[in-house]
Amino acid sequence: MNDVEREALTNFLIDIEILDGIYEYISEFNVFEILGVVNTEIKHSNTLALLFNPNENHNLGDLFIKKFIQSIFSIYKGHLKHMHKNIFDILHLDYYDFVIKREYMNIDIFVISEKAQFVIVIENKVWGKASENQFEKYFKLITEEYSDYDKLFILLTPYSDTEVESSNWISLDYNLIYEIIEKILRLKERNLDVKVRLFIEQYLAILRRYILMKDIELERICREIYYKHQKALDLIFEYKPDIYYDISNYLQNLINSKDNLIKDSCNKNFVRLITKELDDLMDKKEKTGQTAKEYFYSSFN
């Protein structure tokens, strides 16, 4: 390390004031991060199913499912002409009659009201892709099983511009989910149990930071740190831990410790070696001009 690099790293490490801003984020306990919910569709679906259920003990009542359905009818009213229900009917539904099911017919979230004869199918794709003909398969299954019901088929993704391969489905992004939850939190904050409020706030933080990528304050702090300490951070990135380098280094040390092995050319992508027995048996020069130990080797990628 030269003097310039040492000075850059030192200045970065002692800049406590600018680092304090990001420490608040990385030291913050978040149960969703601990449980690995961030990029796991199943766990996002479990969380949403909990919020959808008006009879759960979160004390949100029917607010989430009501605002979700009403938002869809408001946003997509031009695409829902096949529905028997209009916005007036939707406003007067008994949302406590809705039952929420997970993995019913392999569907991520299945919502049904027998009284209202209304079914909602939600396929949740956080980062994954639908399998071939998955949308048409679910549409056919539900249409046959609930032929007299009003039906909504929804693809939920992080992206607002996601196209659905089937015209029977509508595409929603997590922005709507975030906005609904945030609005409910403002409305019910004073009446919510502390644990429930913390649960909701932490889920919003996960959506904001990892799914919607719109944690503006965190982005601002990171940019400020990088612009101020670019040289130090570039140096850190250059020498960041590399699993391939670590494995290669381990294998090279292992070969060096064995008397019957000879190490040949190596880098982080491969390790070449030959046994001493083979080296002694082979002529040192082959017709190709290669040495025996260059010709006989094992490669670890």
Cα torsion at 207, 240, 226, 30 (round to 10°)?
30
The DSSP line for 40-76 is -HHHHHHHHHHHH-TTSTTS-TTHHHHHHHHHHHHHS
User: Do residues 102 and 177 share a domain?
Assistant: yes
User: Do residues 41 and 149 share a domain?
Assistant: yes
β-bridge mates for residue 173, sequence order: 157
**Number of domains making up the chain:** 2
User: Do residues 174 and 290 share a domain?
Assistant: no
In degrees and rounded to multiples of 5, residue 40 shows phi and psi of -105, 115
142 found inside a domain: yes
User: Do residues 260 and 171 share a domain?
Assistant: no
Decide: 66 and 95 in contact? Cβ < 8 Å. yes
110 found inside a domain: yes
pTM of the model: 0.61
pLDDT for 292 equals 47
286 found inside a domain: yes
User: Do residues 178 and 39 share a domain?
Assistant: yes
d(CA 46, CA 118): 21
For residue 112, the enclosing domain spans 35-192
3-state secondary structure 78-106: HHCCCCCCCHHHHHCCCHHHCEEEEEECC
Final residue in a domain of this structure, among 192, 227, 260: 192
Helices (H), the chain: 3-14, 16-26, 31-34, 41-52, 63-75, 87-91, 134-145, 174-188, 194-206, 216-228, 230-238, 243-256, 276-281, 292-295
User: Do residues 250 and 117 share a domain?
Assistant: no
User: Which residue's entry shows tokens 């003990």?
Assistant: 57
User: Do residues 52 and 152 share a domain?
Assistant: yes
Decide: 35 and 202 in contact? Cβ < 8 Å. no
pLDDT for 299 equals 46
201 found inside a domain: no
Low-confidence ranges of the chain (pLDDT < 70): 1, 5, 9, 12-13, 16-39, 127-132, 160-166, 213-222, 227, 232, 235-237, 239-241, 282-301
10 found inside a domain: no
262 found inside a domain: yes
299: which DSSP letter? -
d(CA 172, CA 123): 10
CA dist 85 to 95, 116, 117, 151, 158, Å?
Answer: 14, 10, 10, 10, 28
Q: How far is C-alpha 52 from the geometric centre of its chain's CA atoms?
A: 21
User: Do residues 65 and 184 share a domain?
Assistant: yes
User: Do residues 165 and 47 share a domain?
Assistant: yes
pLDDT for 54 equals 92
User: Do residues 40 and 187 share a domain?
Assistant: yes
222 found inside a domain: no
pLDDT for 89 equals 86
∠164-138-95 over CA atoms, to 5°? 95
User: Do residues 182 and 266 share a domain?
Assistant: no
pLDDT for 295 equals 47
User: Which residue's entry shows tokens 């479990």?
Assistant: 46
216 found inside a domain: no
User: Do residues 165 and 276 share a domain?
Assistant: no
Decide: 63 and 188 in contact? Cβ < 8 Å. yes
